[in-house]
Amino acid sequence: MSHGPRGGLLRRHRDFRLLWCGETAGKFGASVTGVAMPLAAVSTLHAGTFEVGLLSAAAWAPWLIIGLPVGAWVDRLPRRPVMLASAAVSLVLFTALPVTAWSGRLSIGLLLAVALLAGTAAVFFQTAYSAYLPSILEARDQPEGNAKLHGSASAAQIAGLGSGGLIAQVAGAVNGMFANAATFLVSLLCLAGIRHREPRVTATGRRSASLADDVREGLRLIAGDPWFRTFTLFGAASNLALMGYQSIQVVFLVRTVGLTPGAVGALVAATSAGGVAGALAARAVADRIGTARATLLFELLLPLLGLLIPLTTEGPGTLLFVVGGFSVVAGVVAGNIIKASFQQRYCPPDLLGRLTASTAFLSYGTIPLGALLGGVLGTTLGLRTAMAVTTAGVPLAALILFFSPVRRTRDLPTSRRAAGDPLPPPATDGEPALSRH
């Protein structure tokens, strides 16, 4: 960890700077693909609404399938090599798509396979990344680090979404996958340059417990802690609604509103600007009114404006999509920043990998279900009605936070002892010890 003079993290902390560059590049590429892949399915392969929803579901399904054991594996391994391997796999996958298209063999089945495999790599990367960040930053730097990472990620998403639509219109939607492949190369180079090395996992301690014991411990941590339990249930409900409308918004804008691919990319990019606003506002608002109150503001009140999204029409009516989407994204990003800093301080470091994977299994696990729900509702009720149902679910999900300990306090706790939760007992036989730092 850096103990140099105070100042901005990007200026004084080389390892964080490299991690920031790699993660920002990855978010840019993922955003290009987020527009290019459904556009390729719609415009090149003439896929239906349900097939586009299935494509989004495939990208997130690995969280349901392997999310829990991955958390236990990550806690047993150095996190940086896991991230390097995941980025390398993604680089190969997204390079293969346009190459296959040139040979005339591109199909919906291939897009689904790549989405599923890339999603699997993302499970390993995101779990390792979430547990790795606190190891290179001091506790006092973690809120700034989270804000910078989320803010730059949102800015990269704006550029990526806009570029995705432009690339799709100029060079073809499938060729947009090259942009994502290139960003994984950047991530590889940045991660390889990080000097910080984690302590080697010894033969005793972390590996003395079975994988099943580790998985159960992560689930018990969530079930037994009211704060983790609340945020996990909220995440599951919120992601169901968020992915419900996001999985069909490209089809909605193209087929119902009547926009071109370039306009779709620009419009979705404009809504993503809310992420930058949310990242800039998160720390200031949380410091002023408290982290718990700020969480309710960002997760419950702002997303109410998302109800404007299904009212979108061509011409000036596209502003409704921008205002609604901007507000939802701002609230989600700001809430994620506050929650990430809370978890990194509140959770014992040795359990961060399992906490990340267990919460992701339960909250990200609803994302493929949301994507399928969006596709089914869009097919059976019509796209505009489906958008109305799913966007209404975003603020409704936040009622879980409202009727929880979050509403009854000004600030989220910074340690389990401060929250009045009992510390875990010493390890016995198969149970690994928990350490506090």
What is the distance between the alpha carbons of residues 251 and 377, in angstroms, rounded to a whole number?
Answer: 13
In this prediction, what percent of the chain has a pLDDT beyond 70? 84
Q: Which CATH class is domain 10-196+210-408?
A: mainly alpha
Delimit the domains of the chain by residue range: 10-196+210-408
Handedness of CA 299, 300, 301, 302 (dihedral sign): positive
- Residue 165 CA, chain-centre distance (Å), reads 21
Contact partners, residue 24, CB within 8 Å, separation at least 6 = 149, 152, 153, 155, 156
Half-sphere exposure of 71 (CA within 13 A, CB side): 28
pLDDT in the model for residue 313 = 94
- Mean per-residue pLDDT, 162-173: 69
Is residue 279 a contact partner of residue 334, using CB atoms and an 8 Å limit?
A: yes
pTM tops 0.75, yes or no? no
Is residue 145 a contact partner of residue 107, using CB atoms and an 8 Å limit?
A: no
Write out the DSSP string of 204-260. Answer: TGGGTS-HHHHHHHHHHHHHH-HHHHHHHHHHHHHHHHHHHHHTTHHHIIIIII---
- Of the listed ranges 84-88, 211-215, 297-301, 368-372, the least confidently predicted one is 211-215
pLDDT in tens, 186-206: 989 998 888 877 766 544 444
What is the distance between the alpha carbons of residues 176 and 338, in angstroms, rounded to a whole number?
Answer: 33
Is residue 402 a contact partner of residue 300, using CB atoms and an 8 Å limit?
A: yes
What is the distance between the alpha carbons of residues 239 and 28, in angstroms, rounded to a whole number?
Answer: 21
Amino acid identity of 5?
P
Higher pLDDT, 6 or 374: 374
What is the distance between the alpha carbons of residues 283 and 8, in angstroms, rounded to a whole number?
Answer: 15
What is the distance between the alpha carbons of residues 372 and 104, in angstroms, rounded to a whole number?
Answer: 28
In this prediction, what percent of the chain has a pLDDT beyond 90? 29
What is the distance between the alpha carbons of residues 41 and 138, in angstroms, rounded to a whole number?
Answer: 44
- Mean per-residue pLDDT, 325-330: 93
Is residue 27 a contact partner of residue 157, using CB atoms and an 8 Å limit?
A: yes
Whether residue 421 has pLDDT greater than 70:
no
